[in-house]
Structure 1
Amino acid sequence: MTVTTRFLVELKTAAEAAKVAEGSFRRDAAVRIAALEQERAFAFRRLNLMQAIAGAMASAEIEEIAVASAFATLRTRLGWNSDSEARSEVIARFGQVVLAMFRAPDEEESASNVPEALAGFERWYAETRGSPFWLLFEHQIPDTPRVDF
């Protein structure tokens, strides 16, 4: 093998290694971007839902009305027009979050219970359902055929 041939082989090896490194980086970056994208989407879904529930509960003077208002908002946001055993279980578990929110203004230590209650609900949902709660908000809009007359 001549010096020139060896040199060209080394350049080719270096080029292939750079190509592999770039491909690996791009795959890792795509995975990280997807994770950050989901994290952002869930954060905004969390914010939007909790703002809506807080708004629904704002005028309630008694716990029962606050809970009913919060549950109605949750059902509406999820598009749940009917109940099932699974849905009822989710709503009942979410009740802990609602109660923590309702009781927070009255008790100083309860304010820290709201994030804990929400995190606990999210953990429970993920463990029992095998997916994050916030995926429920990914409503697929079916394609509607367009008909011209």
Structure 2
Amino acid sequence: MTGVDRPYALVALERTALAADAEEKRFRASVAEEIERREVARRRAFRRYGFLRALVEADAAAPDREASHVAQRAAAAAELEWEEIDEARKPVLDALTALADAIHDARTGALPAEEAGAATLQALEAFEAWYERARGLAFAELFDRYMPETPLVDF
């Protein structure tokens, strides 16, 4: 049976089926995009949380602001898995000073708790904005580590 001699009912149902198929594909694509968007948001939120937690924990044992800066820089480098601090990485750690100060001030009670928390989050956001302007990518992307596949070799 060719398209010319097919009954109109078959042609109509085929069009309906193809339209439904196309709509389902569009829907599945939009759902996949939304899942990806939410996955990125979740991943970044947990990375920010983990990073800030590491800095707060590093500050906890510091007796003064200077020791806090040193401890937080070391914690930041460890979180980023930076074993060496080269000329490209040093400015990133230097840019953390305002955040380190906000974390230290929050612990030492320089501000009321809610105000200190807001100041810490503002400092984190300012650092992230600086990083994005300076490096052209979101700070959270530093935590994305490409792990090349290694072939399994049986000797």
What is the TM-score with the length of structure 1 in the denominator? 0.87
Gaps of 5+ in 1: none
Q: Aligned residues, how many?
A: 148
Structure 2 counterpart of 1:100 = 102
- The 5 A counterparts of 1:9-88 are 9-88=11-90
SS of aligned partner of 2:88 = helix
Q: Aligned equivalents of 1:110 and 1:56: distance in 2?
A: 17
TM-superposed CA distance for 1:32, in Å, is 1.1
SS in 2 for 1:85: coil
Supply the distance in 2 between the matched residues of 1:53 and 1:63 (Cα, whole angstroms): 13
Q: CA deviation at 1:141?
A: 3.8
Higher helix fraction: Structure 1 or Structure 2?
1
- Give the 4+ runs in structure 1 shifted more than 4 A: 142-149
Deviation at 1:137, TM superposition (A): 1.3
In structure 1, give the amino acid aligned to 2:129.
R
CA distance in 1, matches of 2:147, 2:20: 43
User: Given the superposition, is the C-alpha separation of residues 11 and 83 from structure 1 closer, same or farther in structure 2, using an over 3 Å criterion?
Assistant: same
In structure 1, distance between residues paired with 2:119 and 2:149 = 42
Q: With structure 2 as the length reference, what TM-score do the two structures score?
A: 0.84
How much does 1:92 deviate? 1.3
In structure 2, distance between residues paired with 1:148 and 1:21: 48
> Do the aligned partners of residues 6 and 147 (structure 1) sit closer, same or farther apart at CA in structure 2, a change above 3 Å counting?
closer
RMSD: 2.3
Q: Distance in 2 between matches of 1:35 and 1:146?
A: 34
Instruction: Please name the residue that 2:3 is paired with.
Output: none
Change (3 A) 1:48 1:6: same
Deviation of 1:127 after TM superposition, in Å, equals 2.5
Task: Give the residue type in structure 2 aligned to 1:107.
Answer: L
**What is the Cα deviation at residue 45 of structure 1?**
1.1
